[in-house]
Amino acid sequence: MKLILASASESRARILQAAAVPFEAVPAAIDETAIKTEFLSRGDEPGSVAAQLAEAKALQISRAHAGTLVLGADQVLLFEGELVSKCENMAAARQLLARLRGKKHSLISALALAEEGRIVWSHVDTATLRMRTFGDGFLESYLSREGERLLAGVGCYRLEGMGAQLFETVEGDYFSILGLPLLPLLAELRRKGVIAS
């Protein structure tokens, strides 16, 4: 069965490519802010919000691609009870990283597989990360070196790059932190016949 990744995320695509999973990327175009607002106004848990976003992406692309398996993915950051959104610019990234330093936050990563316009599998995983207390000089150096590619991630860091230097402790699955809980996904893709078992 053919797999479609309903995402424009370079990180997720790299993870699948490195794991030798055949796929085609067809990014979904959903209003993430509206979905977040709707579910949070109902008092839904952050993990549920991430799952709903992943499902919305998978379903949108699945409805237009019969006979394929569509993977939707999303990640949200929970900090001090607040769901943090992606930063729009480097000034916002600087502010967010200054708020996160020396403290813990959670990354909630959700996956959903859709087939023929219905969800056939889903998975949610949470990782807890504590940033070290870094100085302003390091923060400026980090922002300068990493540049605007940081804005692609909800926490303004890439753990697979210089972003690893921001952290004191990391509890959870590495792939989940990167936004794609890989091992449970691979197990399901084997079951579905997308990859060899």
41-64 pLDDT, tens digit each: 887 777 789 999 999 999 999 999
Residue 45: CB atoms within 10 A of its CB come to: 13
Per-residue tokens: 134: 């870094």
Statement: the pTM of the whole predicted model exceeds 0.75: yes
pLDDT over 90 at 32, yes or no: no
| Residues 131-142, mean pLDDT to the nearest whole number | 97
Instruction: Return the ∠ at Cα 120 (arms to 114 and 123), rounded to 5°.
Output: 95
Question: Is residue 146 scored above 90 in pLDDT?
Answer: yes
Helix or strand holding residue 119 (H, E): strand 118-131
- Dihedral sign, Cα of residue 35, residue 117, residue 29, residue 51: positive
> Residues of 17-33 as b/e, b for ≥16 C-beta within 10 angstroms?
eeeebebeebebebebe
Q: Give the containing element (helix H, strand E) for 186.
A: helix 182-191
Q: Which CATH code fits 2-191?
A: 3.90.950.10
Question: Residue 128 is encoded by which pair of tokens?
Answer: 């807890």
Residues 63-102 pLDDT 10s: 999 999 999 999 999 999 888 988 999 999 999 999 999 9
CA-to-CA distance for 69 and 176, rounded, in angstroms?
A: 21
Cα(127)–Cα(111) distance, rounded to whole angstroms?
A: 15
How high is the pLDDT of residue 43? 78
Which pair of tokens denotes residue 28? 């979904």
Q: Is 168 left (phi over 0), alpha (psi -120 to 50) or beta?
A: alpha
- DSSP per residue, 10-57: HHHHHHHHHTT---EE------HHHHHHHHHHTT--HHHHHHHHHHHH
* Catalytic annotation, residues: 74
Residue 110 clears pLDDT 80, i.e. is over it: yes
Q: Do β-strands 118-131 and 104-115 pair in parallel, antiparallel, or remain unpaired? A: antiparallel
